[in-house]
Structure formats: structure tokens, C-alpha cells
Structure 1
Amino acid sequence: MALSALSLLVAVGLVVCLPYFVDVGWSDIGAQFAALDPVVVAGLVALWLAGLWAYTFVLTASLPGLSRPQAMTLNAAGSAVSNLMPFGGAAGVALTFALARSWGFRTNPIAVSTVTSGLWNVLARFLLPALGLVALLATGRVPDARVAVPALVAALALIGLVAATVTALRWDRAARITGRTADRVLRLLPHRIRPRRFVPSVSLARLRTTTAGLLRTAWPAMTAGMFAYLVLQAGLFCACLATTGAYVGLGEAVAAFALGRLLTTVVVTPGGFGISEAGTAAAMVSLGGPAGPVAAAVLLFSTFTYILEIPLGALFWSLRELVAQRPRVAGTRDNARPVRAG
């Protein structure tokens, strides 16, 4: 409890100090918010909700029988919990299990869904920085030409890692080759930093055993849902920049968006709140964005992707009985009568 309170204080402190990181005052940011057109704000809300709806396709594909309202409830409630405490992902997973069990789903399909949807999120986190680097290189905004080649190599390496992982999950021969290669690379590391009792090939085999059956049919829908979700989130970020007058170009916006999404994985604060905002604002200003509008745009974006997710999750939690529909696919339910959550 004390750790959660301290983490929230750090997050709030970072946000409060955000204007000073980019050398503007809160009055400048307040003026940007005061000038927002209600019609534009309504459009931003619609774009935000469209992104959340797109993500339900990932969840419904990973847990056959889950309805769209149920998926929206799982996503909103889990995000609300994750946004309130450090390492909140574990609490979000526990909430997912409780809700799904209350709707009659068996433990094993829930576990497989959690693993596969989590894997797709991790792969997206790897892919976003690569796309951000490529977008930055395309704009010619890399300040030092000597950095361009290493940045391109890093981007291609990340894309290759994602491609190799997906290929290994789909084909036996690719899995064997990838596993043996990872084992050899791990053995090259010094003993003091080499993970103990971790054999990549064995872990990959276990992951394939867990997810192979589901991914054989679900990966197209999961991939399409994740792609649509990220595109809509990036669109929301660009719209926030345009609304405050901070938009300087698509490449710069994509690069800053990718950095911000990557920083949300920093678990020092809940959902990386504060850290993500500071890093994103600093990146946009360094790429030529005006400081005041940039700070306002970043805070506006975080209002949707962090702050509003908390009351939205509470709302869906309170309405969870209304979305407790019978699973559509036979075999996902327990034989016994399910126990309702809280």
C-alpha cells in the first residue's frame, strides 16, 4: 500500500513538473486547454473509444466465446487497476481471471488467452520503437548522421526479432532453429549476467505448446485488432498534437508516439504515468514542436489513455452483470454453476 502511494506521488510529481522539463508555464498549458473546441473534444473522445473497441477483437479472438461487451469490460477494468498501482499488470490479470470465471469460462482458456494477448502486446511494444526509428530516419531529423546507420540497424533488428518470434510460433522447423540460435547467443553472454536456469529453446517449446492450438486460428484476428488499436491510438496522438498546434509532421509524431508507448512499460510508476509524458514531450520539443502546445497535447493524450481509463473501468465494473452473456462457443464453460465475482 505504501509503495503504491509513493509510486502515485512520483507519477503526479513528474506530471506537475512537466512544464519545467520543456520550459513553459502552467498558464500556457491552461490557455491551450481553454481554447479547445467542444466539437473537437467530442471527436477525440470518439477516436479514443474506437481504439478501445478495436482492442476487443484481440481479446475475443484469444478467448473464444467472449462477447464484445465482455471484452470491453475486461480491458477497461484491467486498465483501471493497472493504472492505480505499480506492477499493476499482475492485479489486472487477477481481475481478468475473476471476471472471466464469473461469466463461466474455464481456467485453462483464460490462462491461454492471457498468455497470447500478452504476447501480442509485447511484440507490439518491440515493433513500435522500430517503426518510430524508421519514421524518424524518413524525416531526416536524426541530428547526427553517424547515428543514422546504428538506428537503422536497431530498427531492422527489432523488426527481425518480432518476425522470428511469430514465425517460430507458427512452424516447427522455425521454432527449432530459433530456439537453438537463442541458446547459442545466450551462451555467449558473460556468466555474471547470464540468466540462470533459463533455456530459450525449452521456454519457446512450452510457449508453443500453450498457444499453438489457439494461434492456429486466432492470429489473423488478433493481429488485425492490435494493428487497428495502435493505428487509432497513434491517430489520437496526432489529433491531440494538431488540436493544440503542436503537430510538426507525421514522422516526428510517430517517433514520439512510439517512445511514449514504450515508456508506459516502465513500472516505477503505474502505467509509466509521468515518465511517459515527460519523455514524449521532451522528444517532440527536440523535434521542433512548440513547447507550450506540445505539453498541452501530451497531457490531453494522457487524459484519454490513462486518466479516463480509471472511471471507465469503474463504470464497466459496476455494469458487469449487464454484460454477463452466455459464451457463444461450446466447451468454454465449467460444468458447475459459475460463481459471480464480488
Structure 2
Amino acid sequence: MAAEDSGNAADQRSKRRRQRLTRLLAIAVILAVFGFIFPSIASYSAAWNDVSAMTAAWILALIGVTVLNLFTGWWFITTCLPGLSLPRAAAMNLSSTAVANTVPGGGAIALGVSYSMTSAWGFSTEEFTLYTLVSGLWSQFAKFGTPAVALLALSAVGRPSSQLVLATILGTGVFLAALGAVIWALHSENFMAVLGRFAQRAATKVMGWFHRSGPKDLEEAFLEFKHLAAKLIKTRGWLMSVSTLTSDLTGWFVQLACLRSVGVTAGEVSWEKSFAGYALIRLLTTIPVTPGGLGITEVGLTAYLAAGLGTGATDRIAAAILLSRALTFVVPIPIGAVNFAAWRWLRSKDGAASPGDAETERLMQAGVEGDPPKE
């Protein structure tokens, strides 16, 4: 038993080291990008001059398209979690986004924040789990499928780049494979039963390490989950698909509006090339090197869109990309932080508590201390 406990402690130390190395790598990438790589492509001061020269009309237009982008994201959430209102979807999305973009181990903690809020609103663990799985799948499907749409757009007006063709082939392959796996899993009772039995054995073994009994009847739970997922996709699959596509398009609208607002003409960057760059970078950032692709997105988009153009156009493109990232990545952070702080304060004032509150507190503590969340 002592040897087993020692092995578990060694595993935990190894996980902590890997997590710290991952964080250090992300910080190093961000510092290298914004401190060295990006300045070698464009001038920060020139980019700022382009942004500060925007007209009032363009500023209002950017505010409008940013709000639209947020709204469509909230709408997508409501399609994946039936019964959730749009205001609550906005509160949950802004709060989890603020945490994910700023707190160490943000992805897991953001999930805890969302769970805490939905459980307080009366949603069950099963409903939240289903929402998390389905919304995650649909978001990934969109990322892998978007390059194909961009390829069609570019093919209609000109010759697409070899990078886009390669990305389309890879993305479409992954998309079709994942879609096929999901369809098969939702139609196969045997597969879900086997998966449930495997999860039962794994959970029992892991909980045994901590001298606790594992969950019971996971096979039945997996089969029930399959039926719930199939029902949700059958009744709302088309709506989830439309809302996902709309959310993706409005994210690109922000980028295109930023390009035009700082003076980047259609002759320098067409809407087709802008969309292709948007699709390529979304596919690239499916590998989570930094939070939200911070640094990688800015350099990748600027380099792709400015290829073959002069210094002045490159500086304007850099200004547009930095501005669009500020509107989509930075703006939700302070709003979400205030929203989440107010929500927690009201919860503590009312003396109410939900199962998710303890989980969120544990995840936040783990993130601050540098410990990985315990499974």
C-alpha cells in the first residue's frame, strides 16, 4: 500500500511538472511573438496610428459587429442547452471566457465556472455534460469544416493557395472521420455498452487509489447518455449547425470590418483571402499552445494576409489583426470578470450553494497552486 501511495505521489508530481512546463512554454511563445517576431513584421507605432485614425462611423460599425459576434455565440449556447435563456447564456459565456483567457489552467477552471452557474440555475450534471460534449463537437466540426468553405470561395474568384488546399484536405478528413465516429457511436448500443464497462473499470481503479468506492452502473449511464445525445441532435442538430455557422461567420465579420476600418482595401486583401486566412488560423489553433491561440493568431494572420505587400499595407493589416483580436479576445475579459464576481457575490449573499460551487472553488485553487485538477 505504501508503494502504491508513493507511486501516486510521483504521478502527481510528474503531472505538476508537465503542467508548469506547458505554462512556461505558452508564456515563452507569447513573449517571443509580441517581443520579437511581430515587431519584425510590422511596426506597433504605425499600427497604432492607423487605429487612432479611424472615423467615428467605423468605430460605431466595429462596436455593432462585436456585439453581433457575442450575441451569436450566446445563441449557439442556447441551442445546445435547451431551457437556457439568452441572458444566462451570455453570463455563463462571458464569465467562463474571462477565466479561460486569464487564469492558469483556464480551460478546466472555465468548465467548472460554467458547471457552477448551470447547476445553480437548476440544470443537472447529465444535462451539463451533454451540453459540453455536443457544443464542443459542433465547435470542432466548424473549425475543421471552415477551410473547405474558404477553398470554394477562393476557387470561385481565383487560384487558392497550396496551404489552403492542404488545410482543406486535412480538415475535411478529420471532419468526416469525427462525424462518422459520432454517428456510429450514437447508433451503436454495443459500442456505448463497451465504453461504459471500460469507464466503470477505469473509474473503480482510479478511485481505489484514493481508498474510495467508484461510481456504479456507468454502463447504464452511458447508454442513457447516448439516447439523450441522439434525441438532442435529432431535434436540434440543424439549429445547432446554423448557429455554429453564424457564430463563425460573425467572428470573421469582425476581422473583415477591422481591415476595412484601418484602410486596407479590397485590392490589398480581398474578402475571399481574409476568409481563407481566418479559416486557416482557426484550424491551426486547434492545437492549444497558448490560450485562445494568443500570439500565434496575430503573427499567422498578419504574415498570411500581408504576403507580397509593402510596408504601409503590412502595418495597416497588422493594425487590423491586433484590433480584431482586442475586440474578440480582450473585450470579453473585463466584462466577464465583473459579471462572475457579481454573480458569486450575490450567491454568497443569498447563502445559496450548488454542487458546482465547490468544484469551481477546487479548480481555481488547483490553478493558483499549479496543481492539475484531480480526476
Same-fold call, TM cutoff 0.5:
yes
Opposite residue 285 of structure 1, the aligned amino acid is: A
CA displacement, residues 220-253 of structure 1 (integer Å, 9 cap, x when unaligned): 2211211111111111111111111224212101
Q: 1:317 aligns with which of 323, 333, 340?
A: 340
Tell me which of 37, 54, 73 is aligned to 2:72.
Answer: 54
Asked if residue 98 in structure 1 is aligned to residue 116 in structure 2, the reply is yes
Q: Output the CA distance in 1 between the equivalents of 2:71 and 2:228.
A: 27
Amino acid at match of 2:287: V
Cα distance in 1 between the residues matched to 2:51 and 2:61: 15
1:181-330 paired onto structure 2 within 5 Å = 208-209=226-227, 211-246=229-264, 247=266, 248-286=269-307, 288=309, 290-320=313-343
User: Which has more helix, going by share of residues?
Assistant: 2
The alignment-based identity, stated in percent, is 28
Q: Distance in 2 between matches of 1:277 and 1:239?
A: 16
Q: AA paired with 2:53?
A: A
Contact 1:18–1:278 (Cα < 8 Å) also in 2: yes
> Could you report, residue by residue, the CA deviation over 1:72-118 in whole angstroms, capped at 9, with x for unpaired residues?
11111111111125653222211111111122211110111111111
Which residues in structure 2 correspond to 1:38-53 (within 5 Å)?
38-53=56-71
Select the structure of larger CA radius of gyration: 2
* Residues 74, 99 of structure 1: 8 Å contact kept: yes
Q: Decide whether aligned partners of structure 1 residues 49 and 309 sit closer, same or farther in structure 2, where only a CA change above 3 A counts.
A: same
Q: In the aligned structure 2, how far is the partner of 1:69 from the partner of 1:323?
A: 16
Query: Could you tell which deviates more after superposition, 92-101 or 216-225?
Result: 216-225
Cα deviation, residue 214, structure 1: 1.6
Counterpart pick for 1:116 among 134, 154, 157: 134
Q: Structure 1: where are the runs of 5+ without partners?
A: 177-203, 325-335
Aligned CA-pair RMSD: 3.5
- How far apart are the structure 1 equivalents of 2:353 and 2:174? 46
Per-residue CA shift, 1:253-277, capped at 9, x if unaligned?
Answer: 1011112323443322111100111
How high is the TM-score relative to the length of structure 1?
Answer: 0.75
Query: In the TM superposition, what is the alpha-carbon distance from 1:39 to its structure 2 partner?
Result: 3.1
- State the match for 1:195 in structure 2: none
Change (3 A) 1:126 1:315: same
Tell me the SS of whatever aligns to 2:306.
Answer: helix
Is 2:29 aligned against 1:10?
Answer: yes
Residue 90 of structure 2: aligned partner: 72
SS in 2 for 1:320: helix
Q: What secondary structure is seen at the aligned counterpart in 1 of 2:343? A: coil
Any conservation in 2 of the 1:61–1:221 contact (CA below 8 Å)? yes
Conservation of the 8 A alpha-carbon contact between 2:151 and 2:165: no
Could you tell me how far apart the structure 1 residues matched to 2:254 and 2:340 are?
Answer: 25
TM-score by length of 2: 0.69
5+ residue gaps, structure 2, are 1-18, 192-221, 362-375
CA contact (8 A) 2:98 2:334 kept: yes
Q: How does 1:147-158 map to 2 (within 5 A)?
A: 153-154=169-170, 157=173
The 8 Å contact of residues 119 and 354 in structure 2, kept in 1 or not, is answered as yes
